[in-house]
Each structure stands twice: as C-alpha cells, then as structure tokens.
Amino acid sequence: MTDLPLERGAKSLGLVIDLDTCVGCHACATNCKEWNTSGISAPLTDVNAYQAEQRGVWFNRVFTYEVGGQSANARTVHFPKNCLHCEKPDCVTVCPTGASYKRAEDGVVLIDHNKCIGCKLCSWACPYGAREYDEDVGVMKKCTLCIDKIYNENLPQADRVPACVATCPAKARHFGDFADPESNVSQLVRERGGFDLMPETGYRPTSKYLPPRAGRNGALTALAPVETQSPTGAFLRWVDRILTR
C-alpha cells in the first residue's frame, strides 16, 4: 500500500467553490476537459459522445438540485464536484502499486499512469466519486489541479491557475494556498463559513465549499461558520444525501 508524506510541505494548494454564485453553466467542466485532453492526463476518453448512453472521463462534474420543495424558500443549487486533494486520502493508501500518491511539497494528490493497473481500489475508497476510470487505456485518472499549468513559468503569473478557475464566468471558483492564512482562499473560508465536504469521513479535504447565502425568504439561514457548524446541520445532511445516491 502507498504511504502518505510524513511531513507537510510549505504549501497546501486547493480550491474554494462558492455554491452561492455558481450558475451551473458547466464552463469549469468544459475547460477542464479541453486542457487535460491535451495535457499530462491525455487522452480523456469519450464513448458514444454524440449518441445515447454516452460516457467518458470528466475531472469536473456539475450537478443541479432543487432544494426546499414547494416552499417559499425553494431554490436551485448547482453543485460542482471534483477531487478535493484531501489531507488523509484513503484513495492513496489503498493503492497497491504506488500509482496514487500525495505530493509533500504542495499536498496535490496525483496518479502515475505508468504504475496504475486499473484495479479501481482508489475509486472505491473515495467517498466523493472523484476518481475516473479511463476504459480505453485501463487506468484511473483524476483532477491534477492543473499542475502543468499552475507551475508553468512560460505563462503570465495571472494565468497560473487551474483551467476551471480561469474560465468560471461567475467567479465561483478560487485557487490558492491554504497554508497561508492571508491567502485569498483562507480569507474566503474564514469570512464565509467555508466547510469540509462530508467531514465525518476523516479525509480532511483541502478544498472547501462556501454555503449558499440566505435568499429573500430566508432560505438556508441556519448555516453557521465552519468552526461552529455541526456536521449534522440541514445543509450538510442534504449534501451527504445527494452524494450517496
């Protein structure tokens, strides 16, 4: 099995996804697909792309839910989902070949496709459904946080962000270093009550979600900052329910 780094590096890179401003346009998924189809994870397989029962490899997926039923507080919530680059990822520790690993220097979780045997143990261990099996090449693939982009010194500094962040028209996705308490992502988490997805798993996701703010009719007013919010709160129960369908 694969060991996790014994010590944390200077950086802890990840995303903040704002559920209040995401409009469900799927631009993040599309730009992610375009970048990674020609990048280090290429190719990203599509089967029956223009027919019924199409399937393929997507590192970002966006789900849309109607919350609140027929009540005055009913609203639509768009829920983007991708790898959260956890602090304690069992998808890494169950890997029998060392293909799945977590980088010590920045906390990014990656897959070495040359070592992957396609056993799918990592996908079974991931509670977020972030692992994708590429049936054409027989290996697992996942979000890389666009390491071939964020560390590319040939790009202007402003462009060294993941493809999903660069393309989001609603500015619902933010990239930064959680090890820096003054970074943009750290400040957003503090100010908006950013929370871990399914904290009861103990995986300690690096990336966080920002909850939807209350609407005109007071929808979702019970949300509290992350440090006081109970994992059994109404919104987190809803998130847990949709992820386990």
SS3 content of the chain, % helix, strand, coil (to 5): 20, 20, 60
What is the mean pLDDT of the segment spanning 202-212? 96
Tokens found for residue 23: 């409009």
pLDDT at 235 over 80: no
* Residue boundaries of the structural domains of the chain: 13-42+55-243
CA triplet 177, 80, 152: central angle to 5 degrees? 40
pTM, full prediction: 0.84
Tokens found for residue 38: 């020609």
Do 75 and 212 touch, CB atoms closer than 8 A? yes
Arithmetic mean of pLDDT over the chain: 88
- Write down the pLDDT at residue 223: 38
- Write down the pLDDT at residue 118: 97
- 6-10, 14-18, 118-122, 197-201, range with the lowest pLDDT: 6-10
Task: Tell me the torsion sign for CA atoms 231, 235, 238, 239.
Answer: negative
The answer regarding whether domain 13-42+55-243 maps to CATH 3.30.70.20 reads yes
* 25, 51, 84, 109, 244 from 145: Cα distances, Å: 20, 30, 9, 9, 24
Question: Which of 176, 20, 36, 211 has the alpha carbon at shortest distance from 28?
Answer: 36
The beta strand positions in 108-211, using DSSP E, are 109-111, 132-134, 139-141, 173-177, 208-210
Residue 36's pLDDT band (cuts 50, 70, 90): very high
Task: State what percent of residues in the chain have pLDDT above 90.
Answer: 71
How far is the C-alpha of 236 from the C-alpha of 89, rounded, in Å?
20
* 2, 158, 232 from 178: Cα distances, Å: 24, 18, 25
Name the residue type at position 240. Answer: D
pLDDT at 229 over 60: no
What is the mean pLDDT of the segment spanning 98-121? 96
How far is the C-alpha of 171 from the C-alpha of 178, rounded, in Å?
18
- Write down the pLDDT at residue 129: 94
pLDDT at 244 over 60: no
